[in-house]
Structure 1
Amino acid sequence: MFGNMREKEEFTRGMPAMHQNEVPSPRAFGLDALHNVCKEIYPDQCNPLTVTAIIKYWLGGPDPLDYISMYENPGCAELGVPPHWHYISLGLSDLHGDNRLHPKSGPGRPSGFGFELTFRLVREINETTPPTWPANVMQQLAKYVFNSGNMLLPGDHVSWHAPLGNGNGRITQILMGKDPQLPNLLTTPHGDVTFVQIIGATSEELQAAQHWNGLGVVNLLKTTRGCGPWLLTNTNRQHSIMEEDPTVAEKIQTGIEREGSNLSGVSAKCWWVQMSDNNNDEKYREKKNDESDDDDEDDDDNICEKDDIDRIEKNRTTDKINKNLSIEQQREHDNNNNNDSSFDDSFILKPLIGLHLTFNLEAGSLLPLAIKGRVMHGRHFTFKSILSHSAITMVAPSVTGTLVSCERPYVLQGPWLQVLIPDQLAEKMAYEFQLFNSTDQIQLPRTFSWPEYKLTITIVSD
């Protein structure tokens, strides 16, 4: 989903061998700067337990983080923070300054990607060594950053869809916050570094972040016993913050109604066909990555399914207008389609008479967010296809810089489809999409149709 939804890899399988207590070289100045700031917090832990992949990333290894240090944190009794393990990544920023992994930078500019990841895990009674599974979570998130070029920022969220840790608890999703003990900004010889903390969350908390905003939910987490002011992850936590305190749910609902959602897009399984005047699907359909011109473009059963795609859902705090999205789409076209003749007409505008959109259930469950949280607040929402390089953007009439208008509500430009949602249609959609309040009650496939707008949406199984 728009720079964010990657399906989690099974990090419990095929894991590279790890060396523990390997001491990183002290000659890397970026690494020295990170070690020094950690020593200020942990002066008696100069040689923390550290894990690293046997083969470094720049030598062809699979894991981009050079090291992950694990510290024993006593907590803070005055603030109600219990003892916990504190994990700090080393490698998203530039540790070496010699172009082996990141372009050279300097003070005032980001070092590498400009941040490192941290994680705080509640320490179990009689636990003497930190669990190593958080290091694998950090490596998976780092892979996403290296592969996509997208940053992770406080307020972002990650759709993980699996219990964190080794149990079957309710902490199955991830939110991103700011580490409470490390500096807001660390200046190193190779540039500036911030520290973004991973926070284990329930599915309900992730949904609240999607429908409202991530920073708002993170701030509410700070006030609860489950996470506390230092945003600890407790994999044994059994209740969401809404269940723990009913007033929290009221605050979230009020925020949604007043502010809408600042999630501007997601990666999704989605596609479309053009409908003619008689509502029959025409030959035209968006082309998949593995399709040729000779493929039967009317057969939706030929849609490729990718079962092992990493999914990262990122919630951006800055709202983007469609003109900016157009720039991003063009960058993607330049980077990904140099050898793809199917997108040679990327600058040609193709108005479509009617549309039949199809989403899988997970993407479809976000349609209420797209309409009520975005379009009805005068914004846009993008579904970035994980089946191809294409994207579907639903826009409100008040959004500027768009390709669509009342006269041509559906316009295709290269791989990018824009769909205008008039106010009356948005109200009808919001009413009908209440069905997604209980997704387990939806019989699939489920089709919504608005003939007067020549628009149909079908939801299929994941």
Structure 2
Amino acid sequence: MEMTTEAYKQQFSEEDAVGWLAIDQQLEKIYGAARARHYGPLCGLHYIAGGTDPIDGASIYDSSEQSFHHHIVSYGMSELYYNEEKAGGAFSKWGFEFTLRLAPFEGDKGQDPIWAIQVMNNLARYVFSSGNWFEENHFIPANGPVRLDTETAITGFVFATDPRLGKINTPHGEVTFLQLVGITDTEVEFLKKSPTIGAVSELIDQLRQENPLLITDLGRK
């Protein structure tokens, strides 16, 4: 939604988490009144307060669509809080939030995959420090297992628009829910040899044929 500063000031107050609310409203369309398990900065402090975590936190939903998986959504790559100077922008801050759909993994022993939130923080640090952002059909090698100290062939990620959350227009601008999709070391090596948007897009289309929601499974070979 395009919004003037005056309209923004009339609709919201300084106590409103304007962008956070927009994210929650989109999630409510998918999950209704289901309560997520929300985790704040893992180190206890956000970047602004001198901590090491760039994102403000992440929510984890359990989904049975396609097959049971955890659906993790970040908060903090977009403009979350009241900021009348950002009203009506083209993009809200970096213009995206991370998501990840993750099949249960025995190494997590029935606990929430907090390591995946740390992956999001690591990627966020790169964005905040370099000024380079991620978009659909980008890919990034992890230079090892995406879950540290784990025997898994998943050693990188490609980025796709989350098939259910998509994109939203917020009072601060557009936000894409950018889903991390785990890829194997064979797929990583293929993309290193052909690091083009077209090659990534083709790989994602291939993965979607048997996995429409692009759920990451650490057991995939």
Which bin holds the TM-score, normalised by the shorter protein? 0.7 to 0.9
Larger radius of gyration: 1
CA distance in 1, matches of 2:50, 2:143: 29
CA distance in 2, matches of 1:51, 1:70: 8
SS in 1 for 2:142: coil
Q: CA deviation at 1:70?
A: 0.6
Aligned to 1:27: 16
Is structure 2 residue 173 aligned with structure 1 residue 191? yes
8 Å CA contact retained: 1:97, 1:190: no
Unaligned runs of 5+ in 2: 1-14
Q: In structure 2, what residue type is equivalent to 1:218? A: I
Which of 1 and 2 has higher RCO (CA within 8 Å, sep 6+)? 2
Query: Could you give the per-residue CA deviations for residues 105-128 of structure 1, whole angstroms, max 9, x where no partner exists?
Result: 233510000000000001358975
Which of 41, 53, 61 does residue 51 from structure 2 map onto? 61
Q: In structure 1, what residue type is equivalent to 2:164? A: Q
CA distance in 2, matches of 1:118, 1:129: 18
8 Å CA contact retained: 2:156, 2:184: yes
CA distance in 1, matches of 2:32, 2:104: 20
CA distance in 2, matches of 1:174, 1:146: 19
Aligned to 1:270: none
8 Å CA contact retained: 1:209, 1:216: no
Structure 1's consecutive aligned runs of 4 or more residues displaced over 6 angstroms after TM superposition are none
Q: CA deviation at 1:129?
A: 4.0
Q: In structure 2, what residue type is equivalent to 1:154? A: E
CA distance in 2, matches of 1:63, 1:178: 24
Is structure 2 residue 203 aligned with structure 1 residue 236? no
Q: In structure 2, what residue type is equivalent to 1:179? A: D
Aligned to 1:40: 29
Aligned to 2:160: 177
Number of aligned pairs? Answer: 199
Question: TM-score normalized by structure 1?
Answer: 0.41
Question: TM-score normalized by structure 2?
Answer: 0.83
Q: CA deviation at 1:133?
A: 0.8
Which of 212, 220, 228 does residue 206 from structure 2 map onto? 220
CA distance in 2, matches of 1:43, 1:193: 20
Coordinate RMSD, CA, aligned: 2.0
Q: CA deviation at 1:97?
A: 3.4
Matches within 5 A, 1:190-209: 190-209=172-191
Aligned to 2:99: 118
Which of 119, 139, 163 does residue 121 from structure 2 map onto? 139
8 Å CA contact retained: 1:107, 1:192: no
Q: In structure 2, what residue type is equivalent to 1:111? A: S
Query: Could you give the per-residue CA deviations for residues 347-400 of structure 1, whole angstroms, max 9, x where no partner exists?
Result: xxxxxxxxxxxxxxxxxxxxxxxxxxxxxxxxxxxxxxxxxxxxxxxxxxxxxx
8 Å CA contact retained: 1:175, 1:206: no
Aligned to 1:49: 37
Q: 1:97 to 1:27 in 2, by over 3 A?
A: closer
CA distance in 2, matches of 1:157, 1:216: 12
CA distance in 2, matches of 1:121, 1:107: 34
